[in-house]
Structure 1
Amino acid sequence: MLLRYLAYALTVIWLTHALWPQPAHAQQAPTPVSQCQAIAAAAPAASFASFSVPAAVPVASADTGEVTITFVGHSTFLIETPDGVSIATDYNGWFRTPSAPDVVTMNRAHSSHYTLSPDPAIEHVLHGWRDDGTPADHDLVVGDAYIRNVTTDIRSGFEGMIPDANSIFIFEVAGLCIGHLGHLHHELDESHYRQIGRLDVLMVPVDGGLTMGAESMSRVVSRLRSALILPMHRPLTNDFLAMFGDEFDKSFATEPSVKVSLRSLPKRPLIYVLQGV
């Protein structure tokens, strides 16, 4: 009799476990695929990257939507996407945008490039470094924008370099590849260029030495071959402009904003100094 009851109890337990509704396993969202990397890999090396889009390679959100880029101050630009997503680069809390951005990126080289007390209304705060010393790794989709990063090193306060303490943030939106070099302290190697891929719009620090000297920075700019180059960080110097020959156009804007789309990119690479730089 005891064995019968024991067998009955075990059967009930087994049936309960087998038939009880199980929670659905959450499916991990696939990592976004960078169209900027894919297109750069397929493009002829001698062509300006922004004008070598093979027809066979799909471009994410390649529509006629315009992206508005506004210089806010120092290294902070406000990027506004066609769907209304707002992104502030190297956000330090000093230079305020009209409303709290949806996303802010930061770099830790100097306090003018980050804040540890951002506005609580900011939904996504992306640090270009990690406190444990490992490389920051961002792959974030917000609305119609895909945001990723490529880490670089920064100079130590004593000597040597701190690995992976800066990030080049890349924003892929409306078919455009927009890159912000952050507080870049060294020239890039081929591994960096492969990770970055194509950049149509490049935000570059021009300070003559706080990041890199004009000659070193000009080599990075020339290698990236972006169509639209937006200086930042310090007032533009003639030394920086003098590094670029006739293959680059130079122009000074009369306002702090520029609207850009894949179709409106300049035919020749343009160094465009927004008002306030």
Structure 2
Amino acid sequence: MQIEWKGHSSFVLHSDNGQTVLTDPFNEQVGLPVPNVDVNVVTVSHQHGDHNATGLLPGTPIVVDGIGQHTVAGIGIHGIAAYHDAEQGALRGKNTIFVITVDEMNVCHLGDLGHPLTPEQVAEIGKVDILLVPVGGFYTIDAQQAYDIVQQLQPKIIIPMHYKLDERLVYPIAPVDGFLSFYQEVKTKDVLKITKTSLPKESQVILLELK
């Protein structure tokens, strides 16, 4: 599998057999270049313009935006109910956590998670190989909460998202530094290329560059 970061909470997952999944495409209001990629499947964690801009994508990808088990283009996608805030959705609504199984690896995309995970959610998420976790706070969990969730899920690879990349991004969220301060070693890559057998034995933080 190959993972590219398009900015904000948007990633492209490339399977070894040529299938592609895009997570949370955003619109031009974010301030970063809008993802313009032709993919098979798109996941949408919630219905805000910086996460659901499927209409701006080329082609006719299949959109997955709900909880439950889905199989699309041979890829298993499990949607788990969560909230965008710590008030059970009263402030910003619902959020869907997705566990996407690609090349026998489970990629967990937390979307705009706004609260700590319950034991029931941790159990439903199950084994996580690669965690895509928001760290910027304000609209989502912050750096400390993200670190706590990493301890709950124990992924092999941790990729931060939804943070203040640079001045182009218009939202009042924090840079990634606060989250990275919890770790002694961080690797930076332009693209993550990984197989089940090459997953690290100990948790590893990887900072993806904008692709």
The range that moved more, 200-209 or 141-150, is: 141-150
Q: Count how many residue pairs are aligned between Structure 1 and Structure 2.
A: 194
Of 154, 164, 168, which residue of structure 2 is paired with 1:225? Answer: 154
Is 1:85 equivalent to 2:85 in the alignment?
no
- Show the counterpart of 1:251: 187
Residues of 2 paired with 1:116 and 1:89: CA distance? 10
Pick closer, same or farther for the CA change 1:90–1:239 going to 2, 3 Å. Answer: same
Partner of 1:171: 100
Matched, 1:215 2:144: yes
| Structure 1: runs of 5 or more not aligned | 1-66, 128-135
Q: Distance in 2 between matches of 1:105 and 1:141?
A: 12
Retained in 2: the 8 A contact 1:104–1:122? no
* Equivalent position of 1:102 in the other structure: 40
Query: CA shift at 1:120, angstroms?
Result: 6.9
Counterpart of 1:203 in 2: which secondary structure? strand
Query: Structure 1 239/123 Cα, relative in aligned 2: closer, same or farther at 3 Å?
Result: closer
2:179 is the alignment partner of 1:240: yes
Secondary structure at the counterpart of residue 147 of structure 2: helix
Indicate the residue corresponding to 2:114 in structure 1: 185
> Identity of counterpart residues, as a percentage?
26
The answer as to 2:146 corresponding to 1:146 is: no
Q: List, as ranges, runs of 4+ consecutive aligned residues in structure 1 with deviation greater than 6 Å.
A: none
What residue is the counterpart of 1:203 in the other structure?
132
Counterpart in 1 of 2:171? none
What's the CA shift string for 1:234-263, capped at 9, x where partnerless? Answer: 13433212234x5xx42122x2x1111110
Is this contact kept in 2: 1:144–1:173, CA < 8 A?
no
Contact kept, 8 Å, 1:72 with 1:97, in 2: the verdict is no
Give 1:266 shift: 1.4
What is the TM-score with the length of structure 2 in the denominator? 0.82
**Cα–Cα, structure 1 residues 93 and 151, in superposed 2: closer, same or farther, change >3 Å?**
same
Unaligned runs of 5+ in 2: 29-33, 166-174
> Counterpart in 1 of 2:64?
126
Q: Distance between the aligned counterparts of 2:15 and 2:155, measured in 1?
A: 19
